[in-house]
Each structure stands twice: as structure tokens, then as C-alpha cells.
Structure 1
């Protein structure tokens, strides 16, 4: 099996495509070239060759007239990463024990594209994400592996970048698929039987609550983890937001230990974060009391 992509400067899309394909075909040979005769010999060719043709396993996006997007939902064109993902996702997911007949398969397929591949496709096609601050992206991390004066060293750097992205992609898919195979049904049941406060003996991701509470017609304000110390998390207003629906009580924020217990009157209170997005108590009743007092405080503010 020959996997062929271009030589020279590499980007996140060809690195990510290689990482995927090497997970699926671990013994495959990776060849980096722009020689058209060698390119013709490839079993799978991506990000080079100026051809997009699934039947012959050609996945380039640089040619004139290319218009492929992941779905009608998106206007951003695919890079080689999106194209390879679209064609090989079933084989990729099988490595992580996700089969096509899983009830959440299409949801996972779409979420993985939006969360992991869309950004890579967009950057490679020159679509710039704007905000009032910069987060170092996976594409920038890959770009930093490039050197420009020695093709032999460059090929080694390419494989190093592939190794890094393989680890990251594997970690991401392991966590994502495990959630859907093992945790999602329990989370939905917890949300359905909860009102303002969701109590769980196991870890619950705030972002997952934001997604599934809407589908359950619920409006969860807090998550309380019922472990040795009871940890409180305020649910954000939207997925990945830093703004909480109802932060813990303003007068408690930034306090801990005896000072917090004195101000709050809650005997086992441990701390409240300065922003109010999280806090904790030793006893479950006290953790719930912290949530309910904060909720009542907000109700009083809104009624003024």
C-alpha cells in the first residue's frame, strides 16, 4: 500500500490525512513527492495530483473547479483532511470500536468533523478565524515542524508531526467515542430527572449538559459531582462559553476555608472560584445549599 502526498512544506491537512490513513493502514508506505510519474503509482493520493476522484482514491483540492464541502451546512471547502475523513471515517471509527449501526453514528460523524476537521479545512483554504485574542491552533503547531533548507530533514519533521497528530487524534476520538458508547444514555437520564441541579456520582462535562438539556427541554443551572468532596460547576450559557448561567453567589467568590464558611454560614463550604463558575463543599447538603442560595439570590436581583 502506497500513500502519496506532496513533498516540501507540509500543512495540517496532509499531516492529518497521513495520521488517519496510517491508523487504518499501519504498514503502508508514505511517499512525499511532486513527481507526476510516481504520483500515478499511489494507492491513495492526497493533497497533490490535482484530482479529486473517490473511485481512484485521489483526494486533492487545489485544482480549478473544486467545490466540495463536507455538507450543505458548510460553505468552507474541504482540504485533503476533510476529503479523506469523508471517505475513510468508517474504517477510522472501527479502530475505536464504533460501528456503523450505532444509533449515534451520524451524530458522531458530524461532530468530529465540526470539532476537529472543519478548522483544518478552513485554515488550509485561507479562511481566518477572528476573535479578540489568539489561541495557538493545531495548524500552527504542525507548521512549526517545517524547515526549509533540507528535504531529508523535512521528511523526518513531517513524520514527527504525523506522530504528534496521531496521538492527539487518537486521544480525541477515544474520549468522544467512549462518551457515546458508555456515558450518553446515563447523562440523558440524569438530565431528564433533574431540575435546576444535576447530581452525578461520575464526571459530567458541562458542554455535554448544554447540548443535551435542550433536547430534553431542561434548563440545568448546576452540576454537583457527588464524590468525597462535592464539587459544584455552574453550567455555561452555551457550549464552550466561559459565561455561567448562574454563577455562585457574588459575596462568596474568591473566598475559601474559614473565611468562606463565616461569610456564607455554610459549615462545610470549601471554596468558591473568583468568577463563581465552580466551588465545593464537604457535604452534599451543603453543596446543594450553595447552589440554591445562589439561585435565590439571582431571583431576588431579577425581581428588583
Structure 2
């Protein structure tokens, strides 16, 4: 059913309905995503809670107490609602509902790929994991961590980060002075609603542009990187006898997420997982090279194996002396935490990797 709703849109002109009053990140994103599709590109938006007006809308999101994709009704507030994205546990918001039904069509259009192309499916899953699920969780009041367990473990936040979330920035727009942000002055009785709709439009653009940046980055950088990392993974044994050194051919490849997935798909035991990755620092000929430790997980700052402790925080000639004759001169640095280091040449960084693997 995730694809059928995107195929059935026919009515013209279309009207999208959502609620008026205080707005949130989920319906702001939902409306923007719909408008990315050709059938909705010129759709008008009605923000109301009047059932009669909502009944006249082709598509309704985040209001109306009904979820029925065949009728283009995408609310999640009803008591009986419990839908989640496939293979996930987070209850959907209006953003998640629209994405679940229209996301593949949006991605196919953005990438110029057929709807059933496997890359569309990869991006569909990634965008939900990386962006939409957090919007769903925020709107449904679902915390990333169990607060009770955190308290029992004595874990306390070191600072407040709520002010920099997209949801908080959308919420700020609920309280802005419209005249301060350029809303034209109106003297009619519909002025308050018009000003509120204007601010909702700003919120929708904020959420939508953020979504599009994520999609563009995933399609143009993350997805092509998968093939590069897979090729490097398959040739790992030629880099070092242990098979635990990955060599990337160029700078700027987002390798981490792919590496963990590829290792898992290959069924590698823990004692054969990759430990270090080397790559050129820049695209320029003669670029310096980097060596980076692989962390225990994508979100971890703890490494599977750090660079040797005596190297940490040491630079240049002093580091050359520590590395010894097996590494050509030209060492640049090793970070104090041992997670990354550098050398002037590929040969030098390969030799550093060999020493680190043997330590």
C-alpha cells in the first residue's frame, strides 16, 4: 500500500488540508513532501479544524481523526492508531504517514530512477532512519532513551540541546511577531489566520529544505560511496595480511555507515572486523594521507583498536623518531585520543598502519 497512494492522485485542482492553530514539525514536513510531487505542486493549502472544510480537501494530514490511504486521510491522533514504518517500532506522525506512502515516489523523482529500483529502496530506508523517524518520535513524545534507566544508571545530560533541534525551531515560529519577519500588514478580519499561515509556510520550508538536503546528500554522496567501500572491502586482504586494513581511493567518502553494514552482510566474526581505514586527505595530486581507527559502532567514540598510545599527541619530527626506520619520514600527527593520524605520503601512512596493526 506504500506505493498505491502516490499512483492514484488524479483530482485537479488539489486541496491539502491540515489543522490551524499551533503547528508542529510533522505536518510542516508532511505538507512540503506532498508538494514535491507533480500532482501536488500547485495544490492549495487549507488550515482549519472545520470538518466540512476538511471534507472538501483532497488530502488531509494531521487532523480529522482518520487514517485511510485510499481516501488520502493521514491523521495519527485517534486512540486506535498504532501504525509504524516497516520493521520499526516508533509510532508514525503525519510526516511518517506521508513518507511511508509517498516517500518512494519522492525519491524516484529526485533521483530520476524507476520506482522499483533497488537504490530507491535503499534511500527510502535511509531517509526514514536518518530523518523522518526522529520527527515521528518527537511529535509522539517518544524519548530516544528510557529516562528511568538513565536515572538509575546515574547518567545526566551535560548541556541542553533542545534549542537547536528542527522541532524547536519550528515551535519558535509559532511565537514570532509577523511584522518582524516581513508579513504584509492586513486590515481584514482574517489577518490573524493569514499571519499564522505565513509562519506555517516558513516552518514547512524549513523542514522541507532540511529533508531535501538529507535526500540529496544520501543520493549523491552516501549511495555512490557504498560501491566504493564494498570494492575496498573485497580487496582488503591485498592491503595487509590480516585483512583488517581498508584503503579508500579518494578523499571525502562517507565510509562508516557502509562499512558496518558490509561487515554484517559478510558475516565477519569480531576478530576479523576492520580496524583501520586509510585515505587521501584531499583530491589534489600529492595529497597528504590519513589513517583513522574504526570505532566500535557508528555512534561510538570508542575504537576497536586505537593508534598506539606512545604516538598520541606527537607531531612531525618527534613522531618520525618514534615510528622508527620502518616508516619513511614525513609523519604529520597523531591525535591525542589515538583515533586519527596523518602522513605526507601514502607509503608512509601504510607503514604506520602496519605498525599499528602489529602493536
**TM-score of the pair, normalised by structure 2:** 0.76
Counterpart for residue 248 of structure 2: 200
On the 8 A contact 2:174/2:196 being kept in 1, the answer is: yes
The equivalent position to 2:315 in structure 1, one of 256, 259, 283, is 256
Structure 1 residues not aligned, in runs of 5+ = 298-304
2:84 aligned partner: 69
1:258 and 1:19 map into 2 onto residues whose CA distance is 55
Match of 1:146 in 2: 174
Aligned equivalents of 2:136, 2:94: Cα separation in 1: 8
- What do you get for the CA RMSD once the two structures are aligned? 2.2
- The Cα of 1:61 is off from its aligned counterpart by 0.6
Distance 1:259 1:26 in 2: 62
Task: Determine if contact 1:93/1:99 at 8 Å carries over to the other structure.
Answer: no
Q: Is the Cα–Cα contact under 8 Å of residues 210 and 235 in structure 1 kept in the other structure?
A: no
Once residues 296 and 143 of structure 2 are traced to their aligned partners in structure 1, the CA distance between those partners, rounded to angstroms, is: 25
Structure 2 Cα separation of the partners of residues 294 and 142 of structure 1: 47
Match of 2:106 among 92, 100, 103: 92
2:339 aligned with 1:277: yes
Q: Deviations over 1:100-144 (max 9, x none)?
A: 332344333223222211111112111112374354433223222
Q: TM-score, normalised by structure 1?
A: 0.89
- The structure with the larger Rg is 2
Cα distance in 2, alignment partners of residues 162 and 213 from structure 1: 38
Unmatched tracts of structure 2, length 5 or more: 1-13, 151-155, 178-191, 237-242
Match of 2:300 in 1: 241
Which of 85, 90, 95 pairs up with 1:81?
Answer: 95
The CA deviation at 1:168 is 1.3
155-164 or 257-266, which moves further after superposition? 257-266
Give yes or no for contact 1:50–1:61 (8 Å, CA) kept in 2. Answer: yes
Are residues 26 and 273 of structure 1, via their aligned partners in 2, closer, same or farther at CA, if it must alter by over 3 Å? farther
Indicate the larger mover: 45-54 or 90-99. 90-99
Q: Secondary structure at the match of 1:96?
A: helix
